[in-house]
Every structure is written in C-alpha cells, then in structure tokens.
A and B are shown apart, each in its own frame.
Chain A
Amino acid sequence: MTDLFPPFLVYVAGAILLPFIPNGNPRALFSLLIPIISAYLIWFLPDGLHGQVVLAGWDITLLRVDKLSTIFGLIFSLAAFLGLLYAWHIRDTVQQTTSLLYAGAAIGAVFAGDLISLFIFWEGTAIASVFLIWARRTEGAYWTGLRYLIIQVGSGVVLLAGTVLHYQDTGSITFEAMTLGSVATWAIFLAFGVKCAFPLLHNWLQDSYPAATVTGTVILSAFTTKLAIYALARGFPGTELLIYIGATMTLFPIFYAVIENDLRRVLAYSLNNQLGFMVVGIGVGTPLALNGTASHAFAHILYKALLFMSMGAVLFRTGTVKGSELGGLYKSMPLTMIFCVIGAASISAFPLFSGFVTKSLILSASVHEGHYIVWGILLFASAGVFHHSGIKIPYFAFFAHDSGLRPKEAPWNMLLAMGITSVFCIGIGVYPEPLYALLPYDVEYVPYTTTHVITQLQLLFFSALAFTVLMKTGIYPPEMRLVNLDFDWTYRKLAPAIIRRCRTLFTRIWGGMMGASSTALNRGFVALQKAHSPQGSLARAWPTGTMVLWIAVLLGVTLIITYI
C-alpha cells in the first residue's frame, strides 16, 4: 500500500497493544517507546510525497515530507514523550490509550498531503483528546468535555464542507497554499481558526484545558492548537488578515490572564496569546516570519508544557491551582518552583531561554515588513506575557503570602519530565543553531546582538518593576475566588436564556392561538346549536300566521321598491 511506514501508525499500533501490557511500570515504559520510534521514523523520512493511495476514488497522500511537516512531527513526538513521562504514574487505561491516539492523530495530520486525510486526523485529535477531559470524572468535566467536543468536531465538519466545495471549485483535494476568496477557502480558514483559538472562537481553550486531568492538560497543551498553526502555515501563509487576527490574539487574553484565579486557566490565556505571535508570523509570510512561527511553535510547546507540568504538580499535591488558595510553596516544592521559573523565563523570552531566540524572529519580520503598529502591539504583549506568565504564575503559586500548605515535592517522574523539558528550554536559548537548522527556510538570524539583549532586558525588568510597584502600592488586583465572563458567556448563558425566552413566548402564543381558535369553534358550535338543534330557532315549529305576516311584509317592501 505504501512505500514507507507512516509514523501515526506507530501510535495506533501502540494504543492497540497497550491494554495487553501489565498496567504499571511495564506499560508506562512501553508507552514511552512509541514517541521514540516515531521520532526515529520522522527523522529518517526522505523528503517528498509518500504513502500515496487511491481510496474510494480519492488520491490520498499520507506522507508529505518537507521541513515544515518534519519540524512539527518531531516536536509532537518530543511533546508526547515528555507528556507520557510526566504521566508515568497514571494507571487509567483510557487516558493512556487516548494520549497515544491523540498524539498519533496530530502527527498524522501534519504529514497529511490532502484535505481528506487532514480532515480524518483533524477529527481524530478532537475525539481522542476529549477523553483527557472526561477522565477527570466529575459532572463539571463532563459538561466541559461536551462543549469542547461540539466545537472541535464542528471545526472538522466545517473543514469537510470546505474540502468538498474546494474540490468542486478546483477538482483537487491537495492540501497546499490557498488564497482567501471562495466560500471553500473561507470555510477551511474558519475551521483552522476554530482550532487555533482565533478571537471570539477561542473560549473552548480556556474552558477545557483547566478542566482536564493533571496530566491531561499537559498533553492537551501541545497538540491541537499547534496543529492549527501548522495548518495555517501550510494553507494560508502571507494572508494579511492573519496579521491583524494574530495581533488581536496576543492582546486581549493578557487582560484576562491578569485577573484570572485558576492558574492553569491563566496559562491557557497566555497560550492563546503565544498563538497570536505565531499567527502574526504566518500572516507576514516572509521566510523569516515563517521560520519564526515554526521555531516559536517548537519552543512554545516545550515551555508551555513545562508550565502546565509545574502547575499540575501543585494540583497533584495540594488539590488546587487557585492563586487565592496557594502561596509559599517554594519551601517544600523547591524543584518544582525552579522548573516553573525556567518555564516562566522561557515564555517571557529572557536572554539564554528559548523564547528569546524564537519570538524575536516574528517581531523582526513584522518590523521589516513595515507593520509598526503590529510590532508595538507584539512588544506590549511580550511585556504582558512576562507579567502574567512570567511573574504571576510563579509568584502566586510559590511565593506571595504563605498559604500554610507544605506539600511534598512532586513525584520522581514529574520532576524528571520537568527537568528534561527545562534542559530543552535552556538548551535552545543558549545554543539555538540546531533548532534553526530544522527550520523550513535558510535564513541567517543572529538573536544575540547587544541591542537585542539590552532592549529585551529593559522591557522585562521594567515590567517587573511595574509589577513590584503595583504590588507594593496595593493596586495589583488580589487573587479572588471568582470567574470572569468571557465570550463563552454568549453561548453558555445568553443563547440558552434567549432560547428559554423564545420557548416561553412560543408556548404562550401557541397556547393563545389554540385558546382563541377553540373559543371561536365553541362559539360556532353554540351558534349552530342555537339555530339547528331541536330547540333551535330554525328547527322550531313556527305558527302559520307569523309566516303569512312575514310574507305580507316582504310583499309590501317589494311593491314599494318597485314603484318608487
């Protein structure tokens, strides 16, 4: 059928075999082998189109191998490995198998060369991943999972509709760069946008990621949104609209992140903000910008996973990740704290950490192309992300006021996963050349210049200064047990309320109409009865004299009319 072994099949085979392996360390070890094998396969895949099959008349390409798909395939394999190591202690077969299938579907999607197989993998990621939310096994997680599934599957349905229309327009299902214009391309764009958490389509992300299990969130954070980034980079590079969408994405989540109490939701908001940088890169579309997007996705998957891991460890040991309930954990969980700070420094793009050598490509590209306002927004968003992810997360979890909690350090597997991820975060920051070599285009970029280092340090340290001043003066909003309304309010509260109102209204109108018509019918029957019943006026026996009198009157009237 195919000349090469598609890496996603390794995950499928692994997921099928996994339940037969004794639950415990052997099974955990087995699951770790899968991403290693897949990374090995991806590394040695020759460039070009492979795995081409004809399925029900469609030309399916399972493996389109180039630098763009390879870098995403590799980082997905690495993320799967780290996530599974972090989840070593999990004995829940559902989570174990769906984690593998989810990673497999995401890897399948980035190598898909046509829109049909992309659609199948696209839905695969949706269906496999919802189990990581449902695995929490609470009522709230059940409902959150349903919302997540409806939106994710909905995105797939829109993608399929777009694919069908695209085929009608062009006669091809090849997944390649498109230009917005037809209904088909807009539908495909929208499908990607839902998974990429475009503004107003974003709430599934902040809703669902904090609802997943301790380990589930770490795995979720890597794949779905970055698959969408890949799909946009493949399908719509250089689409100017994406610059403005991306800039908006970097901007508004940071306001929410400042006031959000659930620290894993703060991270979900900052994930959204980081996606914005990548989307801007795709919109700018120059080789430098697309390299920026690919490298930033790579670095982002690692530091975001690291941050989710550290917050997961806190949740695992204390039962909560609410900023209002935490504080002072650095004494008893110092290693987790240090790993968290490394993740925080990486997302904030401190020199010598991964974000510094990747995000700057996107900023440079946008300024080179003359998008000065966008550049200003990105700069603001960079300072903002340092503010809430870089300072707020470690500060409220590990320092701030002492919560009195003295949890034990995270278990060994979590520490090891965080340790390895930290090594990557620092390694990329200190020595970015190997990552740059993996990027889709050959572009010379030197991140460590005096100007770049000093200006970035100025931006970050003065943001920290702002935080300190606001904290000392009591202006900084304290963490409170609250939820903040976001756009999801429209479909979680407003739309149901409107539907309820409409239902009540229609019931009333219907009832009124039924009432009125039955009254009218009743009246009719009463009138009929009055006239025609045995006692009715028409059925009564009339005296003949009355009859004659009426005929005389009628005759008289006729005569008068005739002769006048």
Chain B
Amino acid sequence: MSDDMNQKPDTDPASLPWLGRKLLWLDDMKNVDRIVYALFVVCAGLFAADFFYHKHITVEIEAVPGFYALYGFFMCAALVICARALRVILKRPEDYYAPHDIESEAYPEDQLSRKTIND
C-alpha cells in the first residue's frame, strides 16, 4: 500500500506515547530478523531440553524426543495449509449477506471516539 509508505515518515516519534517510542526498534526489519533468530535458538534449546530431564509420560508417544515440538510444528503447518485450501471453497464477497449482516457496514460513527495521536 503506497499510502502507508507516505504516512510512515510523517509520524513524529515525539507524538507517540512513551511506551510506543520505546518500542520503535520493532520498526527496523533487522531487529525483527533478530527476533526470528532468537526464536530459532529458543526452539533448538527446547528441543534439546528433552534429552536432559526425566519426562513423566502417560502416553507412549510422549516418549519420542521432541514429540510436543514436532506435533506443534507440523499440526500448525497442516492447520494453516488446510484452512487456506478451505478458504478457496468457502470465501464469498464481503457483502454476500448484506443487508442482513454487519460485515459490509461501517460501524456507526456516533458510537466511536476516533482519535489519533495528534488529537
């Protein structure tokens, strides 16, 4: 979206709340990459942890090293891929049920308090 690109530099950090300014480092893609690397490291550590403690198990499959890690990873990937395939069949335009639905309506302005950081 080109609008976003134009608006981003307009934001004066001074107009942001204190906490927001402290979090601005998240805007830097390099830092986001660092978070991703940190996630990789944590995951590797957690997987390795399975070899260093006595696991109390009730189901045999739990004894497989890294069972929970693999289950979480592959089931989530399967979830997303299935959901994505499902959307091909299930998707309809936003006004499909209109006017009997709120989906394509605007939220009534008089019930909002739309304010920006500059207000």
Contact = CB atoms under 8 A, between A and B. Distances in A.
> Do chains A and B stick together as partners?
yes
A475 B40 CA distance: 19
Interface majority SS (helix, strand, loop, mixed), chain A: helix
B39 A461 contact: yes
A67 interface: no
B30 interface: no
Given A138-B105, A406-B116, A458-B69, A467 B84 contact: no
A353 interface: no
Contacts, number: 251
Contact of A409 (B4, B17, B50, B93): B17
Interface in B96-119: 96-109, 111-119
A214 to B, nearest CB: 7
Given A140-B100, A319-B109, A483-B103, A404 B3 contact: yes
Given A330-B23, A334-B19, A379-B71, A315 B107 contact: yes
A330 B26 contact: yes
Contact of B84 (A259, A457, A472, A486): A259
Interface in B59-79: 59, 62, 66-77, 79
A317 B114 contact: yes
A466 B77 contact: yes
A450 B53 contact: yes
B113 A411 contact: yes
- Interface band, chain A: 35 or more
Instruction: Pick the most buried of B8, B20, B21, B36: most chain A CB atoms within 10 A of its CB.
Output: B20
A387 to B, nearest CB: 5
Interface string A273-291: 0000000000000000000
B76 A477 contact: no
Contacts of B84: 258-259, 475-477
A466 B93 CA distance: 29
Given A465-B40, A485-B90, A140 B112 contact: no
Interface of B: 1, 3-4, 6-8, 11, 15-17, 19-24, 26-27, 36, 39-40, 42-43, 46-47, 49-50, 53-59, 62, 66-77, 79-84, 86-87, 89-94, 96-109, 111-119
Given A256-B83, A334-B17, 7 more contacts: A259-B83, A328-B4, A402-B27, A408-B115, A458-B68, A461-B43, A469-B77
